[in-house]
A and B are shown apart, each in its own frame.
Chain A
């Protein structure tokens, strides 16, 4: 008898889970333009996915509020990117198979690397959101490797170059750096870019270089080693972090328990950091960071509207870089759809080449040859402040235009 009960419970569980699919099916009316959006919606990267989706949703809502595209409303179809190329490619194939041929989003570079060739063989178009678009667009070469893939995020070397430039100017006396990063390509390349960016690496002493496996959360031994030999050298010392997310947050908290931030002149990193500072509830240290966006960096009506729309969704919180990237994907599609005057993917693709639209940073153009958006990089100087929005005082922002120095 117990087994019967368990069997019904099993059916119920899978039934409940299955119900979601019935609701989200592909029974779209003809007058709706569907934009597929792939992002990691759960687990360790779930926060990133939520932000990307929120950004795209704001753009879609704005377009719909303005009457849609020739009277047709936009609809966002969100699919989970998962955590590997396998799940990401499956998500892309599912979307295209369901006839959703305008696709955007994606977080991981490896996943973008796997999905771009699939899109290339399909009638669909892809605008990548968060992947550093070094490999999928012609960000460096000028010539896009894929005809059907476009990118809106900055090139990853731009962030390292930008923060190096600013640190070099503001802290000329800091000549000794410690670096702590995750042992992966992005982490090492960012550090190389930063080091080379400081006077071409000349005259810089590297005290300790520490590379840890991705997703390490215990930095005790590293922090302790770093804090040794720092005494009395405060003004000449800096630390560069090539970590992200939980790694950066863990390092900061463990460094604080060693009073490390008080013993160095500058703490810097590249990549999204605002979310980490926000999670520290006003206790974030003095930090110099470079990424695609800071809400306080741009004094444009588009940015103001974007920040307000996000604040309305989330109790006055500010959007982060990922939200911005999702928003740019939405804006790029809206502009291209308007220009094409149809949702035929081939015509939208052609329209995307060289399209110009007003983004939060001002006019943005997607290169006709490179398929890369020419967005600037933002260096933000922030420090925790419990009374400020999100517990962060944005002391200063410096906008470094596309193309670097």
Chain B
């Protein structure tokens, strides 16, 4: 029993960062129908920016928060530039063109990152207050994982409220549901598309910055979460924030249970889980009530 609870906690802690990465991806897809391959590069960029701002040394919690925001803003700005120079011109074209463009952007940003920061790996020290683990009911949990879980839940709640309650959210949903109809009703699509792209990119940057103290910051970082986050977006239901959260937690818990009870399936569990969901519920996990379109 203790083992099950511990595996569950570890799985949730692993799933939440995945949710943060995937939330930006699902938002952009939901509104613009752009499956943004460059998301991985934006994620890596977030980690590089954070490590540059903090210089690798252990920050105070306040400095960490500042650096996280800087990373989100910088990557959001890169997203803004990409939207205005590239994607804005392609919304009217078919989806394969935007796919190609986002692949090109992935390569470009990857190359730029390498040109700026080089190929030598770097690391970012954790804030002393957030290092180490605490015992909760006999289970050891990393303090930073608790922080990540908190941030993830706040983000999920915030994004849901933004989409469902605010007038901006209403416009987003209108454009996501039917751009032509939204335009006819007086919603200016561009006023929605640019902010959504910036928000989605900023979320990617924030995710990279959040993960930075736990990984090696180097050119190989960009593709590491790509497959998982695409899986989260698709099994969660495209454009659905709650769906992405459920899917990310499911993937995290599945992997954690594999580690504890079926070590032979470690690494395979993600794919087996995704295949099972897609074959049994082709529309995604929350297919009846999910997605920006239906929300």
Contact = CB atoms under 8 A, between A and B. Distances in A.
Interface of A: 42-44, 46-47, 49-50, 183, 208-213, 215-218, 220-222, 224-225, 227-228, 245-246, 249-250, 253-254, 256-259, 275-276, 279-281, 283
A43 B117 CA distance: 12
Given A46-B119, A246-B218, A257 B143 contact: yes
B114 A225 contact: no
Contact of B263 (A208, A257, A259): A208
B10 interface: yes
A283 B216 CA distance: 13
A401 to B, nearest CB: 32
7 closest residue pairs by CB, A with B: A46-B119, A44-B220, A249-B216, A224-B10, A246-B216, A221-B256, A257-B142
Given A42-B119, A44-B220, A280-B123, A246 B10 contact: no
B191 interface: no
Which of B7, B121, B216 is packed against the most chain A CB atoms within 10 Å?
A: B216
B56 A281 contact: yes
A221 B14 contact: yes
Given A46-B118, A217-B215, A258-B140, 17 more contacts: A47-B218, A49-B119, A50-B119, A211-B266, A212-B267, A220-B10, A220-B13, A221-B10, A224-B256, A249-B121, A249-B215, A253-B126, A257-B131, A257-B132, A258-B142, A281-B125, A283-B123
A51 B249 CA distance: 40
B33 interface: no
A221 B214 CA distance: 13
B133 A253 contact: no
A210 B266 CA distance: 8
Nearest to A249: B216
B200 interface: no
Contacts of B14: 218, 220-221
Contacts of B126: 253, 256-257
B243 to A, nearest CB: 21
Contacts of B37: none
B216 A211 contact: no
B252 to A, nearest CB: 8
B114 A221 contact: no
A183 B258 CA distance: 15
B121 A245 contact: yes
B215 A253 contact: yes
A44 B123 CA distance: 15
A259 B133 contact: yes
A275 B121 contact: yes
Nearest to B17: A218
B164 interface: no
A213 B267 contact: yes
A49 B49 CA distance: 25
Nearest to A284: B123
B260 interface: yes
Interface of B: 3, 6-7, 9-11, 13-14, 17, 56-57, 114, 118-123, 125-126, 131-133, 139-140, 142-145, 213-216, 218-221, 223-224, 252, 255-256, 258-260, 263, 266-267
Nearest to B134: A259
A46 B13 contact: no
A217 B56 CA distance: 19
Nearest to B121: A279
A46 B266 contact: no
Contacts of B57: 281
A21 B7 CA distance: 54
Contact of B123 (A208, A221, A225, A249): A249
A227 B142 CA distance: 11
A250 B267 contact: no
Given A46-B119, A47-B119, A281-B123, A225 B7 contact: yes
Contacts of B6: 224-225, 228
A209 B255 CA distance: 15
Contacts of B122: 279, 281
A404 B255 CA distance: 39
Nearest to A208: B263
Contacts of B120: 47, 50, 279
B7 A221 contact: yes
Nearest to B119: A46
Given A50-B119, A208-B263, A246 B221 contact: yes
A281 B121 CA distance: 11
A269 to B, nearest CB: 15
Contacts of B258: 221
Given A211-B266, A283-B123, A221 B255 contact: yes
A359 B56 CA distance: 36
A149 B91 CA distance: 54
B7 A253 contact: no
Nearest to B131: A257
Given A249-B123, A257-B214, A259-B132, A224 B140 contact: yes
Contacts of A217: 215-216, 221, 224
A275 B199 CA distance: 36
Given A46-B114, A220-B10, A209 B263 contact: yes
A103 B267 CA distance: 38
A215 B266 CA distance: 14
Contacts of A256: 126, 131-132
Contacts of B256: 220-221, 224-225
Contacts of A228: 3, 6, 139-140
A256 B17 CA distance: 18
Contacts of B13: 220, 224
A227 B219 CA distance: 30
5 contacts: A250-B215, A253-B123, A257-B131, A279-B120, A281-B56
A245 B140 contact: no
A257 B144 contact: yes
Contact of B119 (A43, A183, A218, A249): A43
Nearest to B132: A259
A130 to B, nearest CB: 15
Contacts of A254: 142, 214
A250 B216 contact: yes
Contacts of A281: 56-57, 122-123, 125
Nearest to A250: B215
A212 B265 CA distance: 9
Contacts of A250: 214-216
